[in-house]
């Protein structure tokens, strides 16, 4: 489960500000802290950079266990692989034209797990999961204005993702959120996510002036009851 989760929760990118009045040019996530409704810390994720490149992610759970992920880059600045502290590694391949992520591969206990990502023009439309080259499940996306609908046969879940009008394109939101989880900073503004199967609702709260569109925290509710608060800390340069 740790590796499947890390497929979608590993890479934080910096982004350039569109606000010319800002004295900061780049935004880097330093730490994300998850607490329960009573304020008890469940997880802390720290991000370590080499100048502007994210190099390492350190995740510590409520039991004090720490998991380290190290990002490896090519000469073009794309992440080619992520190494875990238990010796396993996930590899990424990109398309030739738009630089879209088209495949990720990892081997776990003798099983080769691949995710292959298909696009319709610039919109991600499916994520197919293979085990030893056999298709086992897939996630499909449809778009309707500011709303993205996601159906996931891997987990039998369906999501409704609401965006605000600052989002550049549907690809930006879904590609970042679902594949590399860039945590919706910059112009990638998700306002809410509703899991219609579990009735889990996630609300995204941004900075007061929204000049850099930074998400300050996410609040998760199940059946209307607050269960988790996820807080973001940034390094503005």
Q: Convert the pLDDT of each residue in 152-192 to its tens digit.
A: 898 888 988 787 766 544 444 444 433 344 333 444 567 88
- The DSSP letter of residue 178 is I
For the chain, the domains span 2-236
Q: What is the pLDDT of residue 180?
A: 42
The model's pTM is 0.76
- For domain 2-236, the CATH class is mainly beta
Cα angle: 184, vertex 224, 198; to 5 degrees: 70
Sign for the CA dihedral angle at 119, 120, 125, 131 comes to: negative
Q: What is the pLDDT of residue 224?
A: 94
Distance CA 28, CA 13 (A): 7
Q: Is 7 left (phi over 0), alpha (psi -120 to 50) or beta?
A: alpha
Whether residue 5 is predicted with pLDDT greater than 50 in this model: the reply is: no
Whether residue 79 is predicted with pLDDT greater than 50 in this model: the reply is: yes
Q: What is the pLDDT of residue 213?
A: 63
Q: Give the residue with greater pLDDT, 100 vs 44.
A: 44
Share of the chain above pLDDT 90, in %: 32
- The DSSP letter of residue 37 is T
Q: How confident is the model at residue 212 (pLDDT cuts 50, 70, 90)?
A: low
Whether residue 124 is predicted with pLDDT greater than 90 in this model: the reply is: no
Neighbours of 78 (CB within 10 A): 13
Report residue 142 as tokens: 């449809």
Q: What is the mean pLDDT of residues 51-60?
A: 86
Helix H or strand E segment including 43: strand 41-50
């Amino acid at each position: 489960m740790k590796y499947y989760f890390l497929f979608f929760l590993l890479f934080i990118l910096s982004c350039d500000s569109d606000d010319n009045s800002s004295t900061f040019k780049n935004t880097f996530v330093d730490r994300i802290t998850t607490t329960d409704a009573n304020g008890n810390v469940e997880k802390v994720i720290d991000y370590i950079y080499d100048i502007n490149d994210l190099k390492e992610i350190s995740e510590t759970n409520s039991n004090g266990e720490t998991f380290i992920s190290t990002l490896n880059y090519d000469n073009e600045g794309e992440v080619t692989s992520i190494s875990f502290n238990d010796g396993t590694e996930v590899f990424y391949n990109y398309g030739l034209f738009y630089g879209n992520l088209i495949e990720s591969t990892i081997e776990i206990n003798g099983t080769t797990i691949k995710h292959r990502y298909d696009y319709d023009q610039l919109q991600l439309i499916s994520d197919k999961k293979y085990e030893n080259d056999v298709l086992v499940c897939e996630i499909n996306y449809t778009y309707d204005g500011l709303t993205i609908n996601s159906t996931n046969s891997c987990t039998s879940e369906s999501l409704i993702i609401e965006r605000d009008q600052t989002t550049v394109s549907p690809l930006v939101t879904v590609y970042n959120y679902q594949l590399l989880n860039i945590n919706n900073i910059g112009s990638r503004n998700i306002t809410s996510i509703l899991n219609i199967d579990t009735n889990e609702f996630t609300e995204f709260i941004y900075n007061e002036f929204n000049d850099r569109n930074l998400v300050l925290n996410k609040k998760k509710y199940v059946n209307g009851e607050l269960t988790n608060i996820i807080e973001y800390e940034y390094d503005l340069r």
